[in-house]
Amino acid sequence: MILSASILNVAAYLGAAIATGVASLSAGIGEGQTAGEASFALMRQPKAGDGLLRTMLISQAVTETGAIFGLVVSLLLIFSGLDNPEAGWYRLGTLMAAGLAIGLGSVGPGFGSGYTGAQACKSIGRMPDQQNKITTTMLIGQALAQTDAIFALVVSLLLLYSTPNTPADASVGHIIMRICGYLGAALSIGFGTFGPGIGIGYVAGRSTDMLGRYSAQSSTITRTMFLGAAVSESTAIYALVVSFLLIFI
């Protein structure tokens, strides 16, 4: 079958749909979870309303990161002219793989960031005088969780712009092998960041919860959060390395 721009468009449109649709799933749930806990905390501490609203909006903005990355990749797939048939069959695999990578890779960070924000709002409702410390810890934890979404974005952009054109003498078996490699890279970073994104979010969420209970132990709580998040992040780095190997080797 002759490769045409129409076939590449199909792959690009499917990749765009996966990128935005899947990435928005966890972001929407996480943002709603944060807003729900903020509303509950507001009933407990009406005087802390302004601080709770600010923390809620900051948390939702950070939780939205993965969905924004998915939107960016979707727009690139649709409008950046990647449907040139001269790139060959490799491009077919990379278009779908790019959407799959950022879509799946944003799920864990979205859930993790949402949980962190929800616990921060709950903690402020319990101890509003520690709001600044709790919000700062929340932001650090969410930033660590969203690192995995950045890994997924890097893999997506590499798939779109760093893969070679298909050689004219490439066999069918070789083409299938390379396309499977690109899809494998997307699955590696997608599933490989799912656990770390949620795990780091859980660590950060519990840390903010404890700050609202034992504020005098803030240094110990923060240090433990950093250590736990670093160990959790290591598995996402493994997935990133494997993705690079599948793309370039």
Q: What is the CATH number of the domain that holds 93?
A: 1.20.120.610
Residues 112, 127: Cα–Cα separation, whole Å: 23
Give the pLDDT confidence score for residue 2 in this predicted structure: 66
Q: Can you say how many angstroms the Cα of residue 130 is from the centroid of all Cα atoms in its chain?
A: 29
Nearest CA among 1, 9, 182, 165 for reference residue 87? 165
C-alpha distance from residue 42 to each of 32, 37, 39, 206 (Å): 15, 8, 5, 20
Give the pLDDT confidence score for residue 152 in this predicted structure: 97
Tally of domains within the chain: 1
Q: Tokens 């950045």, residue?
A: 150
Question: Positive or negative CA dihedral for 30, 33, 37, 40?
Answer: positive
Q: Can you say how many angstroms the Cα of residue 123 is from the centroid of all Cα atoms in its chain?
A: 25
pLDDT tens string, the chain, 249 residues long: the values are 567 778 888 899 999 999 999 999 999 999 999 999 999 988 888 887 788 899 999 999 999 999 999 999 999 999 987 777 777 888 888 999 999 999 999 999 999 999 999 999 999 988 888 888 999 999 999 999 999 999 999 999 999 998 878 887 888 888 899 999 999 999 999 999 999 999 999 999 999 999 888 888 888 999 999 999 999 999 999 999 999 999 998
Model confidence, pTM: 0.92
Give the pLDDT confidence score for residue 50 in this predicted structure: 84
Q: Tokens 């939702």, residue?
A: 60
Question: What is the residue range of 243's domain?
Answer: 5-248
- Token pair, residue 162, equals 């760093």
Give the pLDDT confidence score for residue 33 in this predicted structure: 93
